[in-house]
Amino acid sequence: MSEDPFDEIEQMLSAMFGPQMAADAVGALRASGVDPEQLARMSGMGDLSRLSPAQLGGLQAQMQQLFAGAGSGTVNWKMGQDLAQRTVRGAGDPVITAADAEQTRNALAVADLWLDAATDFMPAPGPREAWTRSQWVERTLPVWKDVCAPVADAATSALADALEHQLGRLPESEPAAAQMGALGRLMRSMAGTAFGLQLGQAIGELGREAVAATDVGLPLTREPGTALVPTNVTAFATELEADAEQVRLFLAVREAAAARLYAHVPWLRGQLLAAVEAYARGIVIDVDAVEQAVAQVDPNDPEAIRRALESGMFAPQETAAQKEALEHLETLLALVEGWVEVVSARALAPHLPLAVALREMVRRRRIQGGPAEQVFARLIGLEFRPRRVREAARLWEKLGAELGDAERDAFWRHPDVVPTAAELANPDDFLTMRRAAQDLDAEMDADLASLLDGTLGYADGAKDADTGATPASEPGDEPGDEPGDEPGDEPGDEPGSGGSEPGSDPGN
């Protein structure tokens, strides 16, 4: 056994979560002041099923200190936030100088002036700010929780349930069977911590590259406003070997355009989060696959455990409902990015010589797997499809050219009006299909109105039968004649008698 009592628990966590997360977790353990002597008295921690009840209880007590911070949810967001902050600081996080702040505010103000000529949406309310990388993490984390928590909570619970189910099928003679409840609680806590660390790592990596508050297409702040990250803007310009001022203005216009859209389309944020929650509700883990994989793993072999975890044995099964939710989410994100791209291009064209080249660079960055695609794929399984963005941009461009800016933007007024995934697949036919649908609706409304007021052609006879209405008078009828009277009939005569008494001979 190692002289350092923390080494053994790090080995156990490393087998389950990987060396980086294990090192961070043990670092938190050391900082928390837990009793290393108690950890030293625990042996065999590489195999949880072999721990005695007393050892397991002691380990769980120590782990609870490590896992403190999860709050009422499943995911340990405190550890995730700490890891995200360490990740961005590890890459360097210069302070915002007065010059940086002024340049950023000026760029965002100019962006709003240029956008006034490209959209009827007014500038987003709120401040124009310059953020450090750490501030980007701090300011966006609450929304990341909103986005990721439903999926992380559901996946953590599903994983813990699957493990508890597997333990529950062990023979009663197995030591783990008698400790199933404690093991289940411990695994649930450890899974929540693992997710918190994974999310923190991913968000921290994104914070090292994100250039603005809406860099991934989502409104990552609770309150409206616009922000750029000068350190990352400069790095992006250096990577492109482009003029830093033009890059700053280009990114400022994109940020201001996205902020306008989210500020003036109040249903959009809710629809995005609802799609994520719908996906989370359907998370199911294949218990049989877990059991088969676990049966082939030596619990005392950390490398075998790690290989099993990395093999995807805990990957959720994608259901039809989840596919529908992801399609809806992908469609909305593609529509947002496409609209921002088109509106920004129009706003920049008269002012920025590099606008077309920078637009192509951003497209290429997205196709190659930029931060947005990587984070979404890692956190919630979303593959952000560049094909949909190109088609969305073509659709918004066509609508603007044929209908004008106001009518183009009117398609955001309600979720029932915004283009669907099927319509996005055929952007060139969108207006034709919408007009045909409107014509059909108008025809059906007119027919219904005619039916209700009795002016529909085939409804005349039905109306007469239902109401007992009398047929229209014939030519030659005198006032007071009964229906069917012939000319010459007097009131009281039989219809068709011509005024003769019953049985009389006409002409007498």
One DSSP character per residue, 222-278 reads SS--EEE-HHHHHHHHHHHT--HHHHHHHHHHHHHHHHHHHHH-HHHHHHHHHHHHH
- Bridge partners of 317? 284
Q: How is residue 164 written in tokens?
A: 């508890």
Phi, psi of 116 (to 5 degrees): -60, -25
As a whole number, mean pLDDT of residues 203-229 equals 91
What rounded mean pLDDT belongs to the chain?
75
Cα gap 354→331, rounded to integer Å: 29
Q: Phi, psi (5° rounding) for residue 129?
A: -130, 160
Name which residue leads in pLDDT, 502 or 186.
186
Shortest CA distance to 221 belongs to which of 317, 145, 274, 117? Answer: 145
Residue 316 bridge partners (DSSP): 285
Q: Mean per-residue pLDDT for 67-76? A: 60
Does the predicted model carry a pTM greater than 0.85? no
Over the stretch 21-59, which tens digit does the pLDDT of each residue have? 566 556 555 544 444 454 444 333 444 445 555 555 555
Tokens representing residue 217 in the block: 């297409």
Residue 145's pLDDT is 86
Provide the token pair at 163: 């493990």
Checking if the pLDDT of 339 tops 90, the result is yes
The pair of structure tokens assigned to 258 is 């996205």
> How far, in Å, are 137, 365, 374, 486 from residue 369 at the CA level?
21, 6, 6, 90
**227 φ, ψ (degrees, to nearest 5):** -155, 145
The label of the residue with tokens 């979303």 reads 382
Task: Render the burial of 381-418: b for 16+ CB within 10 Å, e for the rest.
Answer: bbebbbebbbbbbbbbbbbbeeeebeebbebbeeeeeb
Q: Could you tell me which residues are beta bridge partners of residue 226? A: 128
pLDDT (tens digit per residue) in 296-309: 555 445 455 445 55
Lowest mean pLDDT segment, chosen from 63-72, 211-220, 282-291: 63-72
Longest dimension (CA), the chain: 142
Cα separation, 405 vs 409, whole angstroms: 6
How many angstroms separate the CA atoms of 144 and 130, rounded? 20
- Beta carbons within 8 Å of 212's beta carbon, 6+ residues apart: 226, 227, 228, 229, 251, 254, 255, 258
Q: What is the pLDDT at residue 382?
A: 61
Compute the residue count for the chain: 508
